[in-house]
Chain A
C-alpha cells in the first residue's frame, strides 16, 4: 500500500527525470570540492568548453551586433532618435542577446561534445572500469567538466557582448553615420551597473543549467551507438528550452 504507483505513467516519468537531475546536481556539488584538488583536469575542461568556443562566439557576436545596429538604426530613425542606438544595442546585448545566444551556442558547441564524450565512456564501460579501480567517475570525469562549463559561460557571454557592441558600433557609426560621441555618451548615460550584473547572473545560471544537462545526459546514456546519438540530441533540445524558460523567469525576477 504505497503512494508511489507501481508502474511509470507519463507524469511519474517526468517527475523521475526532474528528481534524478536534481539528485545528480547534488552529487556533483558534493564532488566539486574534492575535484578542485586536481586543477589540471579543470583547466583542460575550461579549454575545451571556453577557449575552443571562442572563435564561434566572437563570430556570432559580431554578426548579431551588426544586425542589431542595422535593425536598431532603421527603427530609431523612424522616431528621429538614431543617437539612442548605442543604448539600444548595449542593453539588448548585455541583458538578453549576450547570455541567451551564448548559452544556445554553448549547448550546440560544448554541450554536445561533453555529452558524447561521457556517453562514449559509458558505452565502452570506461566509467565502470574507473569504479572498479576505486576512482570515482563523478569526481574524476563529471565534476571537472561541470565546473569548466559553469566557469566558461559568463566569460564567453561577456566576450560575446563586447564583440557585439563593436559590431553595432561598426554598422551604426561607421556605415550609417550615427555620431560616435552620441553613441557612446548616451550608452554610458543609460547603462547601469545593474544591467551588466543582470547579464552576468543570467549567464552564470545558463552555464550551470547547460553544463548540468550535458553531463547528466552523457552519464545516463543508453550504452549503444544509437543511445549516444539520442543523448546528444536531447542535450541540445533540453538545454535550449531550459535556457529560454529560465531567461523568462530571470527577466521577470530582475524587472
Chain B
C-alpha cells in the first residue's frame, strides 16, 4: 500500500493548496484584508473634510520620502469629518507637532497619499497626537467647475488656473 499512500498525500496536498489559493483570491483581494507589515510605529490622527479615495495602506510621505502608512479611516458623526489614523515609522520621531497633512495624488492615474509638510515647532508628534493643520483631497471635478465658472463670468482663466497648493502659513 505504500505507493497508494504517497499518492493520497500528494493529492491531498494539491487539493488543499488549490483551495487555499482560491480562498486567498476570493477573500483577500477584494476588500481590505491583507495588512502588509502591520503596525510598526506610532499612531497619529488627522481630521480631513474630505479624504477622496484615500485607502487604508496608502503611503504617508514627508518631503517625498515614505515615513508610514494610513492605518485606518473613520468618520466622526459629530462634526462630519473623516478621521485618518496614520501609522508613522518609529525611526521618524522628530516631526514637529505643528506640521500639516495634505492628501495628494501620485501622478495622473496614481493613488492618493498623505503628504506631511514639516512645521517649525520644538515639540514633536508622538503616539496619540493630532495633526491640526490639514488640507483635504483636491477633487478635480470641483476644480474644473470653478475654472469654467470663472471663465464664463469673464474674469479670465489666469486667476482660476493657479494651482491650489497647500502653502504653509
Contacts and interface: CB of A to CB of B under 8 A. Distances in A.
Interface of B: 7-8, 10-11, 13-15, 17-19, 21-22, 24-26, 28-34, 36-37, 53, 55-59, 66, 69-70, 106-111, 113
Contacts of B26: 193, 196
Nearest to B107: A80
Interface of A: 43-44, 46-47, 50-52, 54, 76, 79-84, 90, 94, 152, 154-156, 158-159, 161-162, 179-182, 184-189, 191-193, 195-196, 199-200
Contact of A155 (B22, B28, B109): B22
A182 B22 contact: no
20 contacts: A43-B8, A44-B7, A54-B17, A79-B107, A80-B110, A81-B106, A81-B110, A84-B109, A155-B18, A162-B21, A179-B59, A181-B37, A181-B70, A188-B30, A189-B53, A189-B55, A193-B26, A195-B30, A196-B26, A200-B22
| 9 nearest CB pairs, A to B | A155-B18, A80-B107, A185-B57, A51-B14, A81-B109, A158-B21, A181-B57, A81-B110, A81-B107
What is the interface of chain A mostly: helix, strand, loop, or mixed?
helix
Contacts of B53: 189
A182 B7 contact: no
A161 B25 contact: yes
A188 B33 contact: yes
A196 B30 contact: yes
Contacts of A155: 14-15, 17-19, 21-22
Instruction: Name the residue in B15, B25, B55, B108 with the highest tally of chain A Cβ atoms < 10 Å from its Cβ.
Output: B25
A47 B28 CA distance: 28
A84 B22 contact: no
Given A54-B17, A81-B106, A155-B21, 20 more contacts: A44-B11, A47-B11, A52-B10, A79-B108, A81-B108, A83-B106, A84-B111, A90-B29, A94-B29, A154-B22, A155-B14, A155-B18, A155-B19, A158-B18, A159-B21, A185-B32, A188-B30, A196-B26, A196-B29, A199-B25
A51 B10 contact: yes
A52 B106 CA distance: 44
A161 B18 CA distance: 11
B159 to A, nearest CB: 27
A54 B18 CA distance: 10
Contacts of B11: 43-44, 46-47, 50-51
A179 B20 CA distance: 26
B30 A191 contact: yes
Contact of B22 (A50, A158, A179): A158
B24 A79 contact: no
Contact of A50 (B18, B21, B37, B109): B18
A51 to B, nearest CB: 4
